[in-house]
Amino acid sequence: LIKPHSRPGLYIVNISAEMAPVAKVGGLGDVVTGLSRSLQRKGHLVEIILPKYDCMDYTRIKSLKELDLELHSFFDGQIHKNKVWSGIVEGLPVYFIEPLHPAKFFWRGQFYSEPDDFKRFTYFCRAALEFLLQSGKRPDVIHSHDWHTAVVAPLYWDIYVPLGLDSARLAFTCHNFEYQGAEPAVALASCGLSVRELLRPDRMQDNSFPNKINLLKGGIVFSNVVTTVSPTYAQEVLRPEGGKGLQGTLAQHSRKFYGVLNGIDDESWNPATDSLLNHQYSADDLSGKEANKQMLRERLGLVTQGDDARRPLVGCITRLVPQKGVHLIRHSIYRTLERGGQFILLGSSPIPHIQHEFEGIARQFENHPQIRLVLKYDEALSHSIYAASDIFVIPSIFEPCGLTQMIAMRYGSIPVVRETGGLADSVFDVDNESIPIEKRNGFSFQSLDEGGLNWALDRAMSYYAQNPDWWEKLVRKAMKIDFSWDVSADQYVDFYNQIVTNVHATRT
């Protein structure tokens, strides 16, 4: 299938529903941008294909222009027109697909949580592959992400290889096994795939509901390499609690399944150059961190005078969904208050009853001198909170990788986490004597009840209050940890090289 070519690096096309900062809901967006930038710096050609959402941050797209190309793609038995736009995001070439479909798939004012998400993203995947075919692109690797673009894999082999788009091998990364894209099987026919062929236990049939088709499973079965976002999560998903029904499929495909810890984009997340901060700072000079803390507290109306000046500021930035340990997030607000700290929560929830509950707590603390809840998505405020906070809580029930603990540490905010998934791979308790002392960088706990959180948060707050010099050393150490994409991107290059031909692998 693979044709030799003369480029020194690989040509990788990411097909994704998110890309930071233009279309970001959570970590998926950060990963697509951070990994791609790192690969680009290593000499590979990386392009990204995204839906053209109405709600993107268009101010962050450079040179956006409509391509002179009529893209016709198939859906629901008909051919539909699409516009394709190109632009540069964070130095990366991006193509945006705009369907001219009467359902206005990406003109909804939000990225997800539409009743026809399955249709929206299967339409997008078909159009994205059609674009690659029509524009004569010959990538070495097509990398798709999460259930939204998992259907790229069966579409590629069943429809596009026979049509001549045959240069690529397929990588698939699952960022969260909770979201699988399972629908009554007939829904798959819309994008042109054969339900009869694919509704089989060894293909795309949902493992729990035999009448359903499972897109995530299709991504696993039909891709050449499958990754998830941390080594610990890669183990956890082989068990029923983690695999959410796909553990058997993963076990069958274990020889091509790996866990690679995400990195963070250390240029976007750098307190020494972050233009969203009023005061830049580094591990060698923390005075700017203190100034940011003061400013943010004033801005949000928390008291900063007298005895209050040295209260530890606890931060939390999160999607408010059950996975994130909503009951423990709520509890940590009250516990922080009880123990004499200040707390800032930045978060929002797609789940109405959770959003409602937190709106109630926000009202309760509306003019409170120590607690503030900001219930929205706000990129700029998130940077200020990472910079201002001393302690950062992440009490997740499960966490595939988690980026906020890494960003927090880079900004000198010490994480208090539940020991699960990628949190267990990146946060090591300061009091855990089985861990080499140089690796210890935060506080962790295991149990799902409030006692575990209390134990870890109380220790953090006591160290902060009683041992300021020790704390400052811990902050400097955390800020110096290398969480960049550099090492993890090399692992992806190894996988890419393994799946393209040996001829090519020996050339790179």
Task: Please report, as ranges, the residues that interact with ligand ADP according to CB under 6 A.
Answer: 26-28, 30, 317-319, 346-348, 377-379, 382, 401-404
> Measured from the CB of residue 498, what is the shortest distance to ligand ADP in angstroms?
26
> Measured from the CB of residue 269, what is the shortest distance to ligand ADP in angstroms?
8
Nearest CB to ligand ADP, comparing residues 30 and 47: 30
Instruction: At 463, list the tokens.
Output: 């160290």
Contact 323, 347 (CB under 8 A): no
How does DSSP classify residue 94?
E
> Measured from the CB of residue 324, what is the shortest distance to ligand ADP in angstroms?
7
Nearest CB to ligand ADP, comparing residues 27 and 181: 27
Nearest CB to ligand ADP, comparing residues 20 and 499: 20
Nearest CB to ligand ADP, comparing residues 18 and 98: 18
> Measured from the CB of residue 29, what is the shortest distance to ligand ADP in angstroms?
7
Contact 242, 14 (CB under 8 A): no
Rounded Cα distance, 186 and 114, in Å = 19
CB-closest chain residue to ligand ADP: 27
Nearest CB to ligand ADP, comparing residues 263 and 347: 347
Contact 316, 326 (CB under 8 A): no
> Measured from the CB of residue 288, what is the shortest distance to ligand ADP in angstroms?
20
Q: Whose CA is closest to 344, among 316, 305, 365? A: 316
> Measured from the CB of residue 373, what is the shortest distance to ligand ADP in angstroms?
11
> Measured from the CB of residue 431, what is the shortest distance to ligand ADP in angstroms?
24
> Measured from the CB of residue 272, what is the shortest distance to ligand ADP in angstroms?
18
Q: Measured between alpha carbons, how far is residue 230 from residues 161, 189, 420 in Å?
A: 31, 34, 10
Q: Whose CA is closest to 293, among 306, 307, 309? A: 309
The bridge status of strand 257-259 relative to strand 182-184 is unpaired
Burial class (CB in 10 A: 0-12, 13-18, 19+), 365: middle
Q: Measured between alpha carbons, how far is residue 213 from residues 77, 230, 243, 245 in Å?
A: 19, 27, 17, 13
The bridge status of strand 414-418 relative to strand 371-374 is unpaired
Instruction: At 318, list the tokens.
Output: 């999160």
> Measured from the CB of residue 493, what is the shortest distance to ligand ADP in angstroms?
22
Q: Write down the residue that tokens 């050609």 correspond to.
A: 45
**Residues facing 372 on adjacent strands:** 344
Burial class (CB in 10 A: 0-12, 13-18, 19+), 274: buried
Instruction: At 145, list the tokens.
Output: 């992400």
Nearest CB to ligand ADP, comparing residues 159 and 328: 328
Nearest CB to ligand ADP, comparing residues 51 and 347: 347
> Measured from the CB of residue 166, what is the shortest distance to ligand ADP in angstroms?
33
With H, G, I as helix, E, B as strand and everything else as coil, classify residue 264: coil
Nearest CB to ligand ADP, comparing residues 140 and 419: 419
> Measured from the CB of residue 162, what is the shortest distance to ligand ADP in angstroms?
36
Nearest CB to ligand ADP, comparing residues 151 and 320: 320
Contact 443, 426 (CB under 8 A): no
Contact 149, 14 (CB under 8 A): no
Nearest CB to ligand ADP, comparing residues 30 and 117: 30
Q: Measured between alpha carbons, how far is residue 191 from residues 123, 141, 276, 356 in Å?
A: 6, 22, 42, 37
Which contiguous run of DSSP H or E holds residue 339?
none
Nearest CB to ligand ADP, comparing residues 382 and 497: 382
